[in-house]
Amino acid sequence: MAVSTVPLLSRRRMLGVSTLAVGAIGSVPALAAGGGGAPPVFGPADGVALLSRNENPYGPSPSALRAIDEQATKGAYYAEGGIQRLAAMIAERHGVTAEHIVIGNGSSEVLNAIGLAWKGRGPMVGPALFWDTCALYATRQGATLKRVAMTPDLEIDLAAMDAAVTPGTSLVHVCNPNNPTGRLIPGATMAAFVQKVGPRATVLVDEAYNELTDDPQASSVIPLIKAGANLIVARTFSKIYGMAGLRIGYSISSPEHAALIRSHIMSSANTAGLAGAIASYNDEPFLRYSKGKVVEAREMIVDAAKRAGLRVLPSQTNFVFVQVPDADKLRAAMAERNVLIRGTYGPWKNWSRVSTGRIEDVARYAAALPELVRA
């Protein structure tokens, strides 16, 4: 399916800018590579394959770009109306009310707010290896995080997580699929865990990559919220929607939990991000296209790793965890070829995370991998 690009500013709008206004604001600094050879402000420089940040370069969708263009002149106004509209759309899809939804500047802000809201209630429990940036933010504000060892195959050990929950535990944090491993806990297994642990502690499930799984609906525990589970689910527009820089994320929980989370949100979402999110939330043609590109690139990475004689973990995300001789050494060698990937994660020095990106960039990684791991 062909997906066309849409200019961010229409010709009509550009021609409508008055000479007086142009004279008042002066020259606008370039935001892309070109003038004077300066690097771009946003995104990678020409010739750089950016495969380190779990971004989706095939977004935002044309529908999102049109909406951002159309609503750009409303940037002078605060964005509460957009928050209300998007919350209503999310609520309708999942059969809950807008009071169940919290919108934030990316799911990171929502996760940070949850950490702040629950830190005074007792220690948190999380896996040894997961996307812990927001959990660590809470620890810097005084929270306590108890880490639970992974299984030998780098799966989240739900039985051990359950055993780590004490009467004082406030929050149990799981990413599903997990980052950086890419592994998915089956939906039924995750639901059973929520139902077992929920009476003792709030369960937070970060489903940032849910839409990229083989069966998103079956993989999600959102239906348990409607049934009254002590559960918070976080989602984002950064991945399948390709809007990482536009910073829109959300949580779904009971209205009581949502009110508490909302009271710790530190800033309002932005007009451009909300306009893009509203326009693309139900854009099924783009979502199929976007997911197709991610799956294609993911299969290329897996195939390249296997051809190089390397082990890979099964992934249901837009990245792959590859077992290599030395993750930092491989990162440095790839960087010399302008291919950027992640290096070591803590003590896991032999595991390298590589994100899907543009197909041509993934092809560069795939071509270089066999040679570099033998070097």
Q: Is the peptide bond before 177 cis (omega within 30 degrees of 0)?
A: yes
pLDDT in tens, 330-368: 999 999 999 999 999 999 999 999 999 999 999 999 999
Contact 49, 237 (CB under 8 A): no
Confidence (pLDDT) at 36? 60
Q: Residue 91 — pLDDT band, cuts 50, 70, 90?
A: very high
Give the number of other CB atoms < 10 A from CB of residue 337: 16
The pair phi, psi for residue 317, each rounded to 5°, is -135, -165
Mean pLDDT within 219-236: 97
Pairing of strands 231-236, 202-206: parallel
What's the pLDDT score for residue 13? 42
Q: Which residue has the tokens 């990559």?
A: 209
Alpha-carbon distance 347 to 345, whole Å?
6
Spell out the domains of the chain, with CATH numbers in brackets. Answer: 69-280 (3.40.640.10), 285-374 (3.90.1150.10)
User: Which has the closest alpha carbon to 344: 193, 213, 180, 196?
Assistant: 180
CA distance 344 to 347: 7
Q: What percent of the chain is modeled with pLDDT above 90? A: 87
What sign does the CA torsion over 99, 105, 106, 107 have?
Answer: negative
User: For residue 287, is pLDDT > 80?
Assistant: yes
CB-CB contact of 169 with 200 (8 Å): yes
Tens digit of each residue's pLDDT (9 = 90 or more) over 273-285: 999 999 999 999 9
When pLDDT is cut at 50, 70 and 90, the band that residue 11 belongs to is: very low
| Angle between helix 327-336 and helix 359-374 axes, rounded to 10 deg | 120
Give per-residue pLDDT as tens, 294-305. 999 999 999 999
- pLDDT given for residue 2 in this prediction: 43
What integer best gives the mean pLDDT of the chain?
92
Q: How far apart are CA 236 and CA 244, in angstroms?
A: 9
Cα-based distances in Å from 9 to 16, 105, 342: 11, 23, 35
The pLDDT value recorded for residue 55 is 97
Helices (H), 151-249: 158-164, 187-197, 216-219, 223-226
Three-state SS at 231? strand
**Which residues, 6 or more positions from 32, have their beta carbon under 8 angstroms from its beta carbon?**
40, 41
Could you tell me where the beta strands, DSSP code E, fall in the chain? 49-50, 101-104, 124-127, 145-148, 171-175, 202-206, 231-236, 249-252, 319-323, 339-340, 351-355
The separation between the first and the last C-alpha atoms of the chain, rounded to the nearest angstrom, is: 40
Percent with pLDDT over 70 in the chain? 90
Average of per-residue pLDDT across 150-165: 98
The pLDDT value recorded for residue 329 is 98
Pairing type for strands 171-175 and 202-206 reads parallel
